[in-house]
A and B are shown apart, each in its own frame.
Chain A
Amino acid sequence: MSLHFVEFELNGCQIDGMVEARRTLLDFLRCDVGCTGPHAGCEHGVCGACTVLVEGQAVRSCLMLAVQANGKTVETVEGLSGGPKELHPIQQLFREEFALQCGFCTPGFLMTLVALDRSEPRPNAAEMREALSGHLCRCTGYQGVLRVIDRLTEDRK
């Protein structure tokens, strides 16, 4: 068994630990750190529930090893808002547009949208829709999420 020391910045806090090389970033976050926002859906890169930001870019944490995050910055849904009673503006839009039901897929959708929202030049609505094709949802029928995109892109017109 090969054990590795990893440290990275998670939602602004420095964390570290010893991990086996085969530990995925998703399992490390959920099981070792206790950060359960990224969800384990398919665990094969398909559904998007495990999406986190690494160096500001949305990636599948189920197809990445924890050791591959060494020295990087990692963001999960837990880090989006200022506190437990606050919502990030995109979370607020999800709430207003009923863009979630069971919420299993939601952290993934949010992380991809947050990364797109920050990027320069800012993607248009069509590009955002395309990016969200990498997220599967069993409940919403997606219409609420598409309304979130409309409002996100409307605000900036």
Chain B
Amino acid sequence: MKPFALDHAASPDAALAALGKGATAIAGGTNLIDLMKLQIATPERLVSIRRTGLDRIAPDGDGLRIGALVTNADCAADPRVRQDWPLLSQAILAGASPQLRNRATTGGNLCQRTRCGYFYDTTQACNKREAGSGCAARDGFNRIHAVLGTSDACIATYPGDMAVALLALDAVVLTQGPYGPRQIPLAMFHREPGDDPTRDNVLQPGELITAVRLPAPTGGRQIYRKVRDRASYAFALVSVAVDLTMEEGRIARCALAFGSLGTVPWRDPAVEEVLIGQEPSPALFARAAEVLLHHARGFGANDFKIPLAARALAATLAQATKV
């Protein structure tokens, strides 16, 4: 690791002051320290935000407010989360390992960077790491890469699980920054690469995530299905988050989000429209998959993700609509 200066912020204001002077926030450090060891991230100043008091989970109207510094372990184990937003608990527990979740935080998890191997290898061309250097993944090993939302510049996925559940749950990211507070719906938080893959999300320089807000519980049936190379402790090849309510044998309400399929956590209202008001059937699920995937494009080694996503979607919907 390159040498750097480090301060501990004792409040959100102190953290914002440091960020305003160009410091990089460190929360659990489970992603940032890794990237610093490889000199993919080389901040000169870090500000530790763990003691900013943003580590509480509190009711927020009918919803819940999860502080940015709440650890993934604490969030997944919270009785309110388990009871009313089980999707979030399931998604977090499907990610990383207990030893990592004990350190990893809500804000850090949202900002985790891609797992594209070329991004991690500083000898390779990568537009995300070094703008304009090219993309070695396009014609390289791209088995884990995205099939939706890709651009000529970058085809990497956002690899996380938690954000996929948050997207299906209509969560909102609360921030503080040089231009005041912002409320960013999760659907607007991550950025498709376009011609600037260096920025994964819409956070501005100096902006701090303070919390994530969950709206009132839907009471729906919630399932997180993660397909990966082994049964535990691996990033998703494809994941599906569903929150669905049945009424009189029909799908009355349905929210669906997908992980490791697109360059960002993926949600497509057209897929939900196909399903709402209908009786569940394999044909209906196939139709939903068609709508989800008709723009999907593989790059060779990741072509399999397209049929895999269709099957994962059908299996998840079959489970969620079963009486």
By a beta-carbon cutoff of 8 Å, the part of chain A in contact with chain B is 1-2, 4, 20-22, 24, 43-45, 48, 51, 57-60, 63-65, 67-68, 112, 130-131, 133-134
Contact = CB atoms under 8 A, between A and B. Distances in A.
Given A48-B97, A60-B30, A63-B34, A21 B3 contact: yes
A72 B73 CA distance: 18
B33 interface: yes
Interface string B1-32: 11111100000000000000000001011100
Nearest to A52: B99
A132 B4 CA distance: 34
Given A64-B29, A130-B98, 15 more contacts: A2-B3, A20-B3, A22-B3, A44-B34, A45-B100, A48-B99, A59-B103, A63-B28, A63-B100, A67-B6, A67-B48, A68-B50, A112-B98, A133-B232, A134-B96
A52 B26 CA distance: 20
A60 B28 CA distance: 11
A63 B29 contact: yes
Contacts of B73: 57
30 contacts: A1-B3, A2-B3, A2-B5, A4-B6, A20-B3, A21-B4, A22-B1, A24-B33, A43-B37, A44-B34, A44-B37, A45-B100, A48-B99, A57-B73, A58-B98, A58-B99, A58-B102, A60-B30, A60-B103, A63-B30, A63-B33, A64-B33, A64-B103, A65-B29, A65-B33, A68-B48, A130-B232, A133-B232, A134-B97, A134-B233
Nearest to B30: A63
A65 B32 CA distance: 11
Nearest to B2: A22
A50 to B, nearest CB: 9
The bracket for how many chain B residues form the interface is 20 to 34
Contacts of A21: 3-6, 46
Interface of B: 1-6, 26, 28-30, 33-34, 36-37, 46, 48, 50, 73, 96-100, 102-103, 232-233
A134 B4 contact: no
Nearest to A21: B6
Contacts of A60: 30, 99-100, 103
Contacts of A63: 28-30, 33-34, 100, 103
Contacts of A58: 98-99, 102
Nearest to B233: A133
B182 to A, nearest CB: 28
Contacts of B103: 59-60, 63-64
Contacts of A112: 98-99
B38 to A, nearest CB: 8
Contacts of A1: 3
Contacts, number: 73
B46 A133 contact: no
B100 A134 contact: yes
A118 to B, nearest CB: 14
Interface-central residue, B36, B46, B48, B233, by most chain A CB under 10 Å: B233
A48 to B, nearest CB: 6
Contacts of A65: 6, 26, 29, 33
B97 A133 contact: yes
B102 A59 contact: yes
A45 B3 contact: no
B98 A45 contact: no
Contacts of A59: 99, 102-103
A138 to B, nearest CB: 16
A131 B77 CA distance: 14
Nearest to B46: A21
A62 to B, nearest CB: 8
B4 A45 contact: no
A2 B6 contact: yes
A101 B320 CA distance: 45
B167 to A, nearest CB: 25
B39 to A, nearest CB: 11
Nearest to A24: B33
A4 B6 CA distance: 9
B121 to A, nearest CB: 13
A77 B96 CA distance: 23
